[in-house]
Amino acid sequence: MSFEREDFGLLGPLHLNSIDWENSNHRRSIAASLVQGTYILERDRQEKRQGSQALAPPWWEFFHFKLIRQLVDDADSCVFGAIYEYAPPSSHCNDSIDQSPRYVIAFRGTINKPDSFSRDFSLDIHVIRNGLHQTSRFEIAMKAVQNMVAMVGDSNVWLAGHSLGAAMAMLAGKTIAKTGNFLEAFLFNPPFLSAPIERINYGNVKHGLRFASSVITAGLVLATKGNSQTSQSEDPFFILSAWTPCLFVNPTDHLCSEYIGYFEHRKKMEEIGYGAIERLATQNSLGDLFMSVVRRSAEATEPLHLLPSAYLTVNLTPSQDFKQAHGIQQWWRPDLHLKCNLYKYK
pLDDT of 93 reads 61
Over residues 91-106, the pLDDT tens digits come to: 666 555 678 999 999 9
> Domain for residue 111, yes or no?
yes
Average pLDDT, the chain: 85
Q: What percent of the chain has pLDDT over 90?
A: 64
Is residue 301 pLDDT above 60, yes or no? yes
Alpha helices in 153-245 (DSSP H): 164-177, 203-225, 236-240
* Inter-residue contact 265 to 207 (CB < 8 Å): yes
> Domain for residue 193, yes or no?
yes
Is residue 256 pLDDT above 90, yes or no? yes
* Inter-residue contact 165 to 108 (CB < 8 Å): yes
Over residues 113-155, the pLDDT tens digits come to: 988 999 999 999 999 988 999 999 999 999 999 999 999 999 9
pLDDT of 298 reads 47
By 3-state DSSP, what share of the chain in percent is helix, strand and coil, each rounded to 5? Answer: 50, 15, 35
> Domain for residue 269, yes or no?
yes
Longest alpha-carbon distance in the chain = 63
pLDDT of 266 reads 76
> Domain for residue 230, yes or no?
no
Number of structural domains, the chain?
1
Over residues 157-170, the pLDDT tens digits come to: 999 999 999 999 99
> Domain for residue 167, yes or no?
yes
Range of the domain at 36: 3-90+99-222+235-343
pLDDT of 295 reads 47
> Domain for residue 227, yes or no?
no
| Cα gap 167→163, rounded to integer Å | 6
> Domain for residue 228, yes or no?
no
Instruction: Label residues 175-213 b or e (16+ Cβ within 10 Å = b).
Output: bbbeeebbbbbbbbbbbbbbeebbeeeeeeebbebbbeb
Reduce the DSSP state of residue 229 to 3 states and report it. Answer: coil
Query: Which CATH number is 197's domain given?
Result: 3.40.50
